[in-house]
Amino acid sequence: MADKIHPSEDSEPSTEALLPPKINPPTYIIQLPKDQIYRIPPPENAALFESYSRRSSRRRRSCRRCLLYSLVSLLILFILLAATLTILYFTLRPRLPSSQLSHLYLNSSLTSSSSSFLASFLSENRNTKISFRYLSGGSLSLSYSGVDLATGVWPAFKQSTRNVTSFNVTINGAGVRLPGEMVTKHGTVALAVDVTAPVKFKLGSVSSWAFTVKTRCDLTVDGDGLTAKPMKMVSNACRVRLRL
């Protein structure tokens, strides 16, 4: 009998020939700018951020609270000061010192090369609890149509409460002649006297710093009687201002 021929193991058909060939996938390289690269922070950074945020919020609240307390304190201080000043004002009823020009004399002739005048003043203190002290350094001037005719020195003196003090002041105009229109003018002549005096206010044993008291007297005299002793005043009005 003929022997049966079995197929050899080596004769099995190969499956590799049936599979498609392996193809490696392509590799792509993408370049991004640094400012577009986002990183995910670690979880502990979030906890730190929350802690810093709470701390910053506390600081802001604390600063606002301190600012509010300061404003309230200043407001209370201002109210107390205003109330104190109001009480003092209605208690003391302070009044400014007043000076009134009572007489004016022409000591020189109308044609003299240097004019000279003598001014008489009445200074009054109408306060019941405040006294005045006029310091040295005061001055006064006599003018006509805005031109100074003569100048002088305001005296230094003390004035007690409810007191009227009278005194004379000599005012000279070195090298200043009387204007011709003033000498030859008939009718009335308008003159002005300006006084500047440093004054201290005193209440009991407490004395203030020096204030500047300014007085201006606008007077009208008879032009036909400039040489009269004293000049005849048609009108005389004085006003006082205080400069801190």
Mean residue pLDDT of the chain comes to 82
Last residue of a domain, one of 58, 92, 126: 92
Domain span at residue 58?
A: 41-92
State the DSSP H helix or E strand holding residue 88, giving kind and residue range, or none if neither: helix 43-92
Which pLDDT value is given to residue 46?
60
User: What pLDDT shows up at residue 178?
Assistant: 84
Q: Are residues 120 and 188 in the same domain?
A: yes
Q: Are residues 105 and 191 in the same domain?
A: yes
Is 17 part of a structural domain of the chain? no
Residue 154, number of CB atoms within 10 A of its CB: 23
For residue 134, the model assigns a pLDDT of: 97
- Domains held by the chain: number: 2
Q: Is residue 124 part of a domain?
A: yes
Whether the per-residue pLDDT at 13 is higher than 80: the answer is no
CATH for 226: 2.60.40
Convert the pLDDT of each residue in 223-236 to its tens digit. Answer: 887 888 889 899 99
Within this chain, do residues 145 and 62 fall inside the same structural domain, yes or no? no
Q: How far apart are CA 229 and CA 221, in angstroms?
A: 12
Q: Give per-residue pLDDT as tens, 132-146.
A: 999 999 999 999 888
Q: Is the pLDDT of residue 16 over 60?
A: no
125 with 186, same domain: the answer is yes
Residue 117 near residue 176, CB atoms below 8 Å: no
Q: Quote the CA–CA distance of 98 and 200 in Å, as a whole number.
A: 14
pTM score of the predicted model: 0.66
Higher pLDDT, 110 or 80: 80
- Is the per-residue pLDDT at 197 higher than 90? yes
Reply yes or no on whether the pLDDT at 25 is more than 70: no
Higher pLDDT among residues 121 and 229, named by residue = 121
Strand 147-154 relative to strand 233-243: parallel, antiparallel, unpaired?
unpaired
Do 184 and 121 share a structural domain?
yes
